[in-house]
Amino acid sequence: MATTTRAVPPWPSSRPCLCLARVRHGHHRSCPRLRQPSIALWFPSQGEAMERPPDGQLQHFLFVTSPLQGHVNPVLRLAAHVTVANPSVHVTFSNAVSGHRRMFPTLASPDAEVADGVLHIPYSDGYDEGFDPKVHDVGSFNARARAVGGETLSGIIERLAARGRPVTRVVYTFLVGWVLYVARTHGIPAAHYWIQPATVFAVYYHHFHGHGAVIASCANDPSRGGSVKLPGLPPLNSDALPSIVSVTSPDQPLYPALSALRGLFSALGEQRPKVLVNTFEALELDALRAVPQLEVLAVGPVMPGSSATSNADLIKHGDVAEYMEWLDTKAARSVVYVSFGTMLPMSKHQELELTRGLEATNRGYLWARGGAERSGDHDGTDGGSTGAQQEREQGMVVDWCDQALVLSHHAVGCFVTHCGWNSALESITHGVPIVAVPQWTDQPTVAWLVEERAGVGVRAAIGGEGVVGRDELRRCVEAVMGEGEQAVEIRGQAKQWMEKAREAVSGGGTSEKNIRAFTSGL
């Protein structure tokens, strides 16, 4: 389908410019007095019978998320699943202006709406050029995003109604929790889409509902040997808890994240919207039932479909053919794929240790380094060949790649990952064993699910300076790719969990049924 763009019409003149009154940062492009951006897709509405739109009115979902790669893709993928389940529904997907501009960098007007199989219209969060913690005040981010985002998203809802396409359901992710109140202001039912594990959701819920002290005490256990038993969950060791629950002081860097989560879970407890989780029952049934106060439904794993609109790249990468043709030259299950996501930079020390560890495996490797400097920048004096030689002889380093496509290739035998939930689910769905190197937020819990619950990988031990050493990396790769008993068992488990994951979203699967009910309003 051809891509079309159009300028966003001005907001109704009767609406006051509340964003400028609330946030003294000068005019921004999405100000109601200027231009309103937002992204829109067309999807079905979920909801209970009493929440269905009036007879004859087409269901219309408005999906709202933050401008992060790991948030945009699972929302677009769920949207694709929803439209497959019910092709008659409409969906509007709204991302922040900064994310919209990265998704569509060649627009004549950078905030224009885009019809690309789906309709994209950006809202503003007050940081249209992107949030930069080196420039902007982290402490004021939540309030500013809530004020500006609430104003501009409300305008989107009004404009869509004026076009004859009123929104009948809003779905939002956790960094835009304020969306729930916008939806309720307009009398529109809302559902929360949780894009981390159900186990993490349950831990956070209990943390903010009476168990915060015991969870924080366990998370901060200096021996790292403690565990905590929460309602509905198995015992969790301190190194299996999400890092945010260790925060106890406003002076700690992650305190704004803890504060945002506290607001989110307070609203969930008060308003009790339906909660959709990107997971599947076979993997996390206990966690899905661990919060009986809410209706929590598995709808995953949501994977990219055949439609180009089920994925988006906020980080542009090079030619897919280059690394896929390189993989074509490799034997089955012989290549180590390495990627640590988009959020945190990697230290020079960790880069060097990973490079030397990959060399020591004597296996081919494909490393998506996210634009970081390559190992050829090291002087090569630490033993082993230089990075440039290594890329030619053994491995390949790229700025970024189509991860789902790479993991589907027969040559990939292992995924060394930071254990972001999207990455872990993609690996599980493709039957690729995992070497888990968790860093922060939900990643320690994901690593626990990978190693202890599913048995599809091993967790690397972190050494001094928070670095995984070369010998430890080599050991872990051998543990999942070698010929020993442990590796054979892990590969067998990976195959079984691949089948369970795919079964969940296939016709008649548990997640597929939940999505179908969600789209039909049951």
Query: Structurally, how many domains does the chain consist of?
Result: 3
| Interatomic CA distance for residues 9 and 32, integer angstroms | 10
Pick from 492, 509, 339, 494: nearest CA to 428: 494
- Tell me if 333 is assigned to some domain: yes
- Tell me if 352 is assigned to some domain: yes
Domain shared by 246 and 339, yes or no: no
Q: How far is CA 292 from CA 111, 275, 431, in A?
A: 42, 12, 32
**Residue 464 tokens, joined:** 């001094």
> pLDDT in tens for each of the 522 residues of the chain?
444 443 333 323 333 333 322 222 333 333 332 333 333 322 333 333 335 555 557 889 999 999 988 899 999 999 888 888 888 888 888 999 999 998 888 888 878 888 776 788 899 999 998 888 888 888 888 899 999 999 999 999 999 999 999 999 999 999 999 999 999 999 999 999 999 999 999 999 999 999 999 999 999 987 777 899 999 999 999 999 999 999 999 999 899 899 999 999 999 999 999 999 999 999 999 999 999 999 999 999 998 865 444 555 665 656 788 999 999 999 999 999 999 976 677 889 999 999 999 999 999 999 998 743 333 333 333 444 444 333 546 899 998 889 999 999 999 999 999 999 999 999 999 999 999 999 999 999 999 999 999 999 999 999 888 899 999 999 999 999 999 999 999 999 999 999 999 999 999 999 999 999 998 876
Write out the residue range of the structural domain in which residue 202 sits: 198-298
| Interatomic CA distance for residues 235 and 230, integer angstroms | 7
Domain shared by 392 and 471, yes or no: yes
DSSP reduced 3-state for 479:
helix
Per-residue pLDDT at 52: 52
- Tell me if 515 is assigned to some domain: no
Domain shared by 214 and 352, yes or no: no
Domain boundary among 139, 173, 195: 195
**Residue 87 tokens, joined:** 């092709």
3 state SS for 366-431: EEECCCCCCHHHCCCCCCCCCHHHHHHHCEEEECCCCHHHHHCCCCEEEEEECCCHHHHHHHHHCC
Which residue out of 28, 60, 71, 90 is catalytically annotated?
A: 71
What's the CATH number where 342 sits?
A: 3.40.50.2000
- Tell me if 513 is assigned to some domain: no
- Tell me if 253 is assigned to some domain: yes
Bridge partners (DSSP) listed for residue 96: 123
Cβ-Cβ contacts under 8 Å for 196 (sequence gap 6 or more):
174, 278, 421, 441, 442, 446
Per-residue pLDDT at 390: 39
Domain shared by 208 and 286, yes or no: yes
Name residue 46's amino acid: Q
Known catalytic residue at 28: no
- Tell me if 55 is assigned to some domain: yes
Per-residue pLDDT at 313: 61
Tokens 């159900």 belong to residue: 198
Sheet containing strand 113-115, edge to edge, reads 4-6, 113-115, 119-120, 90-94, 60-64, 169-172, 190-194, 274-277, 296-298
Domain boundary among 195, 228, 249: 195
- Tell me if 306 is assigned to some domain: no
Helix (H) or strand (E) holding 436: strand 434-436
Per-residue pLDDT at 407: 97
Contact 267, 192 (CB under 8 A): no
- Tell me if 107 is assigned to some domain: yes
Domain shared by 371 and 411, yes or no: yes
Bridge partners (DSSP) listed for residue 275: 192, 296
Per-residue pLDDT at 120: 84
Domain shared by 325 and 395, yes or no: yes
Per-residue pLDDT at 514: 97
Domain shared by 347 and 395, yes or no: yes
Domain shared by 400 and 493, yes or no: yes
C-alpha atoms less than 13 angstroms from C-alpha of 220 in its C-beta half-sphere: 12
Q: What secondary structure does DSSP assign to 269-300, as a single string?
A: HHH--EEEESS-HHHHHHHHTS-TTS-EEE--
Domain shared by 51 and 154, yes or no: yes
Beta-carbon neighbour count of residue 7 at 10 Å? Answer: 11
